[in-house]
Amino acid sequence: MEQIGRYQIVGELGRGAMGIVYRALDPAIGRTIAIKSIRLTDFTEQAERERLRERLFREAQSAGILSHPNIVTIYDIHEENGLAYVFMEFVNGPPLEKVLAGRNPDRNLLMSTLRQTAAALDYAHRKGIVHRDIKPANIMLHEESTAKITDFGVAKILSQQMTMSGTMMGTPSYMSPEQVQGGDVTGRTDQFSLAVIAYEILTGERPFVADSLPSLLFKICRDEPAPPQRLNTSLAPEVEGVFRRALAKDSAGRFPTCAEFIDELERACNLRPEWFPLSRGTSPTLPTVSTARPAPGPAPVEDATIAGVIAEPPPAPPLRPATHTGRNLFLALVAVVVVGVGVLLLQRWMEPVPAPPPQASAEAKPIQPPSDSTKPSPTPEVRKAPVVEPPKQAPEPEPVKPAAPEPRDAVLTRPVTPARPPEPQGVTTRILASPPGARVMVDGNLQLSCHAPCSLQLAAGRHTLLAQAEGYRDANRIIELPHDAELSIDMERTGGTLSISSNMAGSTIFINGQERAEKTPVVLNLPVGTYQVRLVNGRLSCETDPVRIQDGSIARRTCDMQ
């Protein structure tokens, strides 16, 4: 395959259960992108496939509104020959799954990844979008430092479809109890999955491990994980309390936001400044891990697709002793002979019986040909000469008389029919943007661009829009005309995240001399710039060093009241 839509395939990035991920080039603007293929034919029959296709496209449109430096942007979506293609931002780096599989993980990198992921999830939850499949394979590390969550929207629609068909999609070890039990899914569902990842980062083990799928699902819904300090002795006991809340079976008992969970986790970890994370399988005590080599067979539990009704495979029937081999062979030969004789008899019985030849009737008499004496004598034929008629003469055409000239008065008084104006081509699309003046380009075509608010004539069908403005993140939209003829684009300001804490909770926060309504501890989203932070609690106060916020950055300031 060399091209999908207008995008030129450069190479292959990987393969998965859903399809292939390609690296491609958008020739319109020279941008490198990733294309993920999804086999729609794997899920439903033709009628359901059409409905799935429409839901998938609509969900991708919804996910396209997410404009965050830690979320992989969806640019476009296309369907062809039973395959859906999602065109998204290219991430130049490994997934977190690969980082966790390595040795000697970097503490600062992993905690930064958790903070960035939490900030991105909270942003998506404020937009009303839940990921539903947060796991290390869906968290990419761009340039090995910036976390990027992928598969927003795609994970939701596919999990919905799999649930309708009687199965659940996803990696079981990272599922929440409400997903396993088919309950309501909210932003705190993603928080549970993020807590599973954090537990694995700190201890090298997942909190819920079992030898079979039913046991794993039971533990997720009923059991409490082992205390993390038992697996990693460098952790403080307070870490266990943070995980108990984030991994609560009832979603109402978890933290209000993912950022608050990570902030509390980092504070508990720092109670022992020399703490360190563990690689997978290197915890000093492994009460839930078997050291025996697994027998060859089905995929591990954490990589399996869960069926709606789970049952253990029935035991294999016992083999018969070898002494019966001769008797079994003799009986088999007898059976073959009996079957062969039966087939021959059946063929003879089904052969059609030939019908007897028809006999002439006794009363019928043969027809005798007429004798020569009875034949009539031939009469000599007299041929007549053909009559030749003279050709008819065509009538001469009458001369055409020239029309009399129309009187001048009649010409002046004749009503004039106005010419019909040409009908506009396509659909008139009205585009609004915040901020006004943002430049909007359609389908990567410079000829189809304007500064909002504006109107464009576009053909009916699917289009991609890119909005750009100084001080704002690029906004991408997928529209379907004529349905989306009125479009409003709210662009996000460039900015980052600032986490503020102190040794006295509830302190008043001043940013560049302006009092904030929030109290410590808090996570703030601030525009790009330099900020001075000052905390006040009664007569005590403290001031931090200036902090520089860049787009997509995450900073933290801790202040001790004196």
In a domain, 250, yes or no: yes
Where a domain ends, among 490, 512, 545? Answer: 490
Q: Predicted confidence band at 162 (pLDDT cuts at 50, 70, 90)?
A: very low
In a domain, 23, yes or no: yes
Distance CA 21, CA 140 (A): 14
Distance CA 311, CA 214 (A): 8
Q: Predicted confidence band at 15 (pLDDT cuts at 50, 70, 90)?
A: confident
Element (DSSP H or E) covering residue 530: strand 529-531
Q: What are phi and psi of 485, to 5 degrees?
A: -70, -20
Residues written for the chain: 562
The tokens of 139 are what?
Answer: 């968290």
In a domain, 126, yes or no: yes
Which pLDDT tens digit goes with each residue over 65-108? 888 999 999 888 888 887 888 899 999 999 999 999 888 788 99
Distance CA 406, CA 397 (A): 26
Which pLDDT tens digit goes with each residue over 50-65? 777 777 777 777 778 8
For residue 440, the domain's CATH number is 2.60.40.1120
Range of the domain at 46: 3-89
Looking at the structure, tell me whether residues 157 and 256 fall in a common domain: yes
> ∠321-323-324 over CA atoms, to 5°?
80
In a domain, 354, yes or no: no
Looking at the structure, tell me whether residues 156 and 84 fall in a common domain: no
For residues 264 and 160, which has the higher predicted lDDT (pLDDT)?
264
Of 39-48, 285-294, 552-561, give the lowest mean pLDDT range.
Answer: 285-294
Handedness of CA 408, 409, 414, 419 (dihedral sign): positive
In a domain, 301, yes or no: no
Q: What is the mean pLDDT of the chain?
A: 78
pLDDT value of residue 187: 94
Count up the domains in the chain and report the number.
4
Looking at the structure, tell me whether residues 515 and 468 fall in a common domain: no
Question: Per-residue pLDDT averaged across 123-134, rounded?
Answer: 91
The secondary structure of 346-391 as a DSSP string is HHHHHSPPPPPPPPPPTT--PPPPPPTTTSPPPPPP-PPPPPPPPP
Question: Per-residue pLDDT averaged across 366-388, rounded?
Answer: 47
Q: Is the model's pLDDT at 177 over the cut of 80?
A: yes
Where a domain ends, among 260, 282, 304? Answer: 282
Letter for the amino acid at 484?
D
Handedness of CA 444, 448, 451, 456 (dihedral sign): negative
For residue 175, the domain's CATH number is 1.10.510.10
In a domain, 227, yes or no: yes
pLDDT value of residue 188: 96
Looking at the structure, tell me whether residues 484 and 509 fall in a common domain: no
Looking at the structure, tell me whether residues 554 and 448 fall in a common domain: no
Helix, coil or strand: residue 119: helix
Looking at the structure, tell me whether residues 138 and 37 fall in a common domain: no
In a domain, 297, yes or no: no
Where a domain ends, among 238, 262, 282? Answer: 282
Which pLDDT tens digit goes with each residue over 421-457? 544 468 999 999 999 999 999 988 888 999 999 999 9
Which pLDDT tens digit goes with each residue over 148-159? 999 886 655 444
Looking at the structure, tell me whether residues 243 and 166 fall in a common domain: yes
In a domain, 443, yes or no: yes
Looking at the structure, tell me whether residues 541 and 479 fall in a common domain: no
Looking at the structure, tell me whether residues 223 and 106 fall in a common domain: yes
Looking at the structure, tell me whether residues 486 and 500 fall in a common domain: no
For residue 10, the domain's CATH number is 3.30.200.20
| DSSP code at position 64 | T
Q: Is the model's pLDDT at 247 over the cut of 50?
A: yes
Burial of 526 (0-12, 13-18, 19+ CB in 10 A): middle
Strand pairing category for 146-149 and 139-142: antiparallel
* Residues 191, 130 contacting (CB under 8 angstroms): no
Looking at the structure, tell me whether residues 80 and 204 fall in a common domain: no
Distance CA 193, CA 132 (A): 9
Looking at the structure, tell me whether residues 175 and 36 fall in a common domain: no
